[in-house]
Structure 1
């Protein structure tokens, strides 16, 4: 990191010093755990799939692009239980896959999809990652040191199989730093960003236009909190509306109604009214 800061040139995925390094007595390596969702699923697993199927790698031993139709037929034939968040969809859309789709591929689908198609040494390599991550997701963690050695071996073999040029920062995080985070914080789901991604989706749903998006998020988030947690006096005209508001998506006309009713709600909470006015002035 010091070298990158001094030369100004990116190296192994590092682009510069973090501002958190200026905080005294803060070890940013151990205090900021590697996120399994971004490093492993959206990082390493997505990168591996790109290497396997992209046409630019058609001369490589690991290329399976010519058999993508066969792989997709296998994938779409799977019938996962209802507990799975998403069902298999065409692999041609893999660049738009969400993290939980890559999780399903890594932990459940990868072996039956690629068996007999991906060369054995490459399949064994990705299965080493799959098996280790599955163990690290269990609530009763066992053999953490063994999992660490497996991830380290995965990282070393990655360079042998795919070349130094494909040794990305996510590979380093997954092979070296992930196990340290497990030692400090426990099973991977203890510090996964999956729950926060769901919150991001909710916030994005509060935006209905390009005009003052921050104010839109502020007002609708406050409205959401009021609707969900404020005790409304009985027989208030909007009591029924509050109960139904978040059950279904509202149309544009109903959105306008929300803003008019927001004024009524604010009469019951002066602090909310003050915050809305302050935010509007700041954004302007």
Structure 2
């Protein structure tokens, strides 16, 4: 695809994996459960064992084939594991009503800097403001993503000598 023909709607699909799964979701899970943040007001470090116990009991479905790793292994999680956390076994914070989700995301982004500090206010967090527009244009996130293409990229790279 040439940049002069680039449709911004497709960037929503790409940003879901990199911006949301590997960006915001990874950052939040790290902020909430990393030992170095245990003195912060937003920390859930004391709940790590409970969450790890929950994750270890999960039996993946057809759509979520990876067995969840423990929170202390976040640096080894793949984008699909963050996606699975968001869509299947994470705390359900998004409701199905798009307007409610849009309001919640706007409020979340507005308060993110206050909650976590200015240095963690990234482009990926800002992209959450546009997420509901992407859903309106392309459909639900679980059916519009580039995970299969990332897997194919890995397959292609393995065959290049």
| Pairing of 1:1-284 with structure 2 (within 5 A) | 30-34=8-12, 35-111=15-91, 127-128=92-93, 131-132=94-95, 135=96, 143-174=97-128, 176-189=129-142, 191-207=144-160, 216=161
The one of the two structures with greater contact order (alpha-carbon pairs below 8 A, sep at least 6) is: 2
Structure 1 residues 96-155: Cα deviation after superposition (integer angstroms, max 9, x where no partner): 1112211222233233xxxxxxxxxxxxxxx43xx25xx4xxxxxxx5444322321221
Distance, in Å, in 1 between the alignment partners of 2:122 and 2:17 is 16
**When the two structures are superposed, what TM-score results if normalisation uses the length of structure 1?**
0.48
Note the C-alpha offset of 1:172: 0.2
Distance, in Å, in 2 between the alignment partners of 1:55 and 1:145 is 35
Show structure 2 runs of 5+ residues with no match: none
Structure 1 residues 189-234: Cα deviation after superposition (integer angstroms, max 9, x where no partner): 5652112112112102203xxxxxxxx3xxxxxxxxxxxxxxxxxx
List 4+ stretches of structure 1 deviating above 6 A.
none
Distance, in Å, in 2 between the alignment partners of 1:81 and 1:189 is 14
Q: CA RMSD in A?
A: 2.6
Aligned length: 157
Q: Which has the larger radius of gyration?
A: 1
Show structure 1 runs of 5+ residues with no match: 1-19, 112-126, 136-142, 208-215, 217-284
**When the two structures are superposed, what TM-score results if normalisation uses the length of structure 2?**
0.79
SS at match of 1:33: helix
